[in-house]
Chain A
Amino acid sequence: MDDWRLITTWDAPPAWNMALDQALLESPGAPPTLRLYTWRPAALSLGYFQRFDDVPAAQRAACVVRRITGGGAIHHQRELTFSICVDLEHPLYAGTVGQSYARVHASLARALAEFGVEAQPRGEAQLSSDQAGTGMCFHDSSALDLVWRGRKGVGSAQRRKGGRVLHHGSIKLDTTPLEGAIASVADVRAGVAPHEFAQVWLRAWGPELGANFRAGAPDSSERALAKELVKRFEDPGFTRRR
């Protein structure tokens, strides 16, 4: 069993969420870390390379930040957000990028099944949630994505830096007006709270991932780095850099 640090931060500010994830990524020697969190206020996050003007929902969102992971924009409301930060040598990330997604998604699919959601990798299927021109993560899909009822319900992206990986993900518990027509846990069971899904996922992590989670917190150097980085994520010049 591998000892993992579990950090939960409910209802944290958007820029702080992004800063803390980058600080955990840039923390060599840190234990494998799973962070589970939600956002207050709700915010739209742009993918690292996205152009602000290519995401119409960014004009309508009350709060917008830019992630350091790639992919499309996500509206972080009515979801459980996670970040995994580990060394690339960790068995969870051995092999190709696709293999690492498959391992994480397998554990998520088991958790979703506990709520009656039959999630599976998209594969070659066509999705009704795919929509051109929105720039939204959940309106674009790849074969690796977890889907149910013909729509995408889990969005994820990775950043690989300095021999470590940050794996971001969003598990939709319900839909929002900015992301309509996607899959969510509410398709099958309404009213599932983020912390409720989190508890089930931790149990479903499974023996093949072999994690022994211990509740923890960022250490002093990670907190100091996050405090410094938060300025960048609050800076409109960074959010609108493209």
Chain B
Amino acid sequence: MRPNDRRYTQTHEWVKPDGETMLIGITDFAVRELSNGNEDDLVYCDLPEPGRTLNAGETFGEIESVKAVSDLNAPVAGEVIESNVNIEEHLEVLAKDPWNAGWMIRLRPERKSLDGLMTAEEYEKFVAAGGH
């Protein structure tokens, strides 16, 4: 079972409340789909500068594996207050720990509600059905 302290999107991002802010990252499923299970296959990641305002669903960054570039989408609206620049240089972190050390951005959300996003249980079913 994936962590139930956060919510999930159909494009395989997670969002986790953290005090007055929210952390956003991508799931183990996304990492595995991109990398074929080989952490060295992740090659680039571009994350936004702090201060950028995002709408829900807006692309905030991009990640490249050996064979695919994918958008990273914001699950909720808010202002980027921090990017985890460490992972831009150490993408293996995403494969090792996508849930904690692999967080990508910290947002000051417009609203605290995570309504409309999937619970861990709902995401499990979504992935079991193919994840698309």
- Residue from the list A49, A69, A96, A162 in contact with B43, Cβ < 8 A: A49
Contact call A88/B132, Cβ cutoff below 8 A: yes
CB proximity to A under 8 Å, residues B63-99: 64-71
Within 8 A of A (CB), among B13-72: 32-34, 36, 41, 43-44, 46, 59, 62, 64-71
Q: B116: which A residues are within 8 A, CB to CB? A: none
Interface size of B as a range: 20 to 34
Asked whether A68 and B69 contact (CB < 8 A) given A49-B44, A96-B33, A96-B36, the answer is: yes
Q: Are A157 and B132 in contact (CB-based, < 8 A)?
A: no
The answer, yes or no, to whether A144 is at the interface (CB within 8 Å) is yes
Q: Is the CB of B44 within 8 A of A160?
A: no
Nearest Cβ on chain B to A48's Cβ, whole angstroms: 5
Smallest CB separation, B110 vs chain A (Å): 22
Neighbouring A residues of B66 by C-beta, 8 Å: 71, 142
Please indicate the chain B residues that have their CB under 8 angstroms from the CB of A228 in the complex.
none
Q: Which of B64, B70, B132 contacts A49 (CB 8 A)?
A: B64
* Choice from B36, B44, B62, B71 contacting A162 with Cβ under 8 Å: B71
Asked if A89 contacts B132 (CB within 8 A), the reply is yes
Whether a CB of chain B sits under 8 angstroms from the CB of A156 is: yes
Using Cβ atoms and an 8 Å threshold, which residues of chain A touch B67?
70-71, 97-98, 101, 142, 144, 156-158
Q: Which residue of chain A has the shortest Cβ distance to B45 in the bound complex?
A: A49
Q: What's the least CB distance linking A237 to chain B, in Å?
A: 17
Query: Chain B: residues with CB nearer than 8 A to chain A?
Result: 10-11, 32-34, 36, 41, 43-44, 46, 59, 62, 64-71, 130, 132
A residues lining the B interface (CB < 8 Å): 48-49, 68-71, 87-89, 94, 96-98, 101, 142, 144, 156-163, 165
**28 cross-chain CB contacts under 8 A:** A48-B64, A48-B69, A49-B46, A49-B62, A49-B64, A68-B69, A70-B65, A70-B67, A71-B66, A71-B67, A87-B132, A97-B33, A97-B34, A97-B65, A97-B67, A142-B66, A142-B67, A144-B67, A157-B67, A157-B68, A158-B67, A158-B68, A159-B69, A160-B68, A161-B59, A162-B71, A163-B132, A165-B68
